[in-house]
Structure 1
Amino acid sequence: MTLRNYADHYGVEVDPKIRSEDVTIAFAFDAGYLPLFQVAAYSLAQSKNFLDSEVVIYTDDPVVADDPMVKITADRISMLEGERRERLYGLAENSIHREDRAQWNKGTFLKWMMFEEQNNPTAVFLDVDMIFLRSFDEKLLQAATADFNAAPQFMYRLLKDEAGEHLPLSRKWEVMNAALAADYSGRLATNVNSGLMVIREPMLSRAFFDEITAFASQSRRTNEQSHFTAYFKKHPERLKMISYAFNHQDEYIGALRDWEAMKELMEKISVIHYAGKPKPWHRRLSDVPRPTSSLWHWHATASGADVRPLMGVPAVS
């Protein structure tokens, strides 16, 4: 299938150049995220990334496997079942502090299904709550030289002073530019955000699935990705923290609190990750406060995704 097939079917004009054939692109989600997947897939194709890479979709939801767009895009659809299902559901219920979010945790642990033998030596996992601003696939793969590569989970306190007040814009730029240069220290040096991961072959195995799930079962942590952070504190040689440009969270773009500065930052990054709140798909376009939200709505409209149910508006059949 591939993203090129998606582009051809949905009328997205794409570059004829073949890119990254020896890479698997992985997504993991349930039916509630199908509209977001359509927006992400459109954005990925429109920005000419991974056009001819194998696409694998991991899910525990048969509705996803039967979706026509998924069938057009995916080379392989993998359903969570059997012993792997029991193990990941167990982690969702028992290895996260907030038991009340067990159902949400099940969705986040779906991405751990990618730790299996793949058809390619490299796999790139992407969350579906993302849009892609420009071609970045070759730069990403060149930067990702370790077994496990990811950008950090950023922290809002880095943009504030000791009293909790926002730093001057010039100081915020110093912090942002260091993150874009992958110049990390302290907690950011191993603080993994699992929304974008580049995984190399030693970890694309059932052996690593067994290793990481056994490790996570030994403790309770804040969320799924915090188990990666803990693991790599013990195995730092297997981790590389890459530029924040490859997984820049929307809320930290908004933290610049200056429209022109936000636009300037968006010229320097490749991926916007809509982690945190508010979500642009929970707001009408007329209510969005910053350019990143408007940009997501533009991609949603261009992709033809029906995002009305996400905004609490019933879909019209």
Structure 2
Amino acid sequence: MTALTAPSSAAPAAGRSRGRPGRSYLHRTYPLWYYIPAGVLFLVFFVVPTLASFFFSLTRWSLFDWEFIGLDNYIQFLTEPQMIGSLRNTVVYAVLTSGAKVVLGMALGLLLTTQIRARGLLRSMVFFPVIVSTIGVGIMFTTMMHPTDGLINATLGVIGIEGPKWLANPQLALISVAFVDIWKGVGLATVIYMAGITAIPTEYYEAARVDGSSAFSSFWHITLPLARPATFTVILLSLIGGLRSFDLIWAMTKGGPGFASDVIASVVYKQYQAGFYGLSTAGNVVMFVVVMAIVLPLNVLMRKAEVDR
């Protein structure tokens, strides 16, 4: 009887030993399944549109037809009369807005992490412009910056100062829009700096006070170095936003007066409005390349500086 039952007892054991590799494989791979939804979304909403943009930038296309023309769109876009000016304006706008957000964000972050009165209210006031519609902000400041009826020049007139034509002067239009962008975006930079500053251990400041360090010395030797990750984040986000900026500029000046405040994005939109869809697609690719050419090396340098520290 023992000989008859032995095979039956051995069979399940063999089955279990054969089943273990399968269960082990599933156990090893099932966490990867959670990447599938994100991977599908990334493929559908980023990879496919990006590849399609590169392809259609090489064509003359409409909604119903397309014709392959090679690099003609890029040549035409890069030889547009306003292209050099728009590229210069894009870089100036991005550098000005990102630099100001770093400086003001750091200053406001330091202020709003101290024990001051109405700190919660001040934090809300600083962050409030971030959540306001960009188009709404553009329309509001366009009205306020009107050369004769605007609130800003009317206020300056009360104290005897003749206000400039903020948006009608080619020398001031881009800078005026940049100031509005800074006002709207500095709240986000402030929140990032507040998070970075509050993460610094208080023991460092206590040790500095015991050693007799001044407030400026503590800021220079403790806050500034240890808040470097927040600074890098603000620089990258502000720079990318500035290089891609369109909505605020279009709402306030539409690239004018003339082409004085045109940036790459506004030139692309004008080409699209004129019906040159392939040309505008090539312009989008050019803007993508410009952003990547500036941001990626900067990101590498900042990461290297963080590691070296």
Specify the TM-score bucket, using the shorter chain as the normaliser: under 0.3
TM-score by length of 1: 0.26
Structure holding more strand per residue: 1
> Highest CA radius of gyration, 1 or 2?
2
Whose helix proportion is higher, 1 or 2?
Answer: 2
TM-score normalised by the chain length of structure 2: 0.27
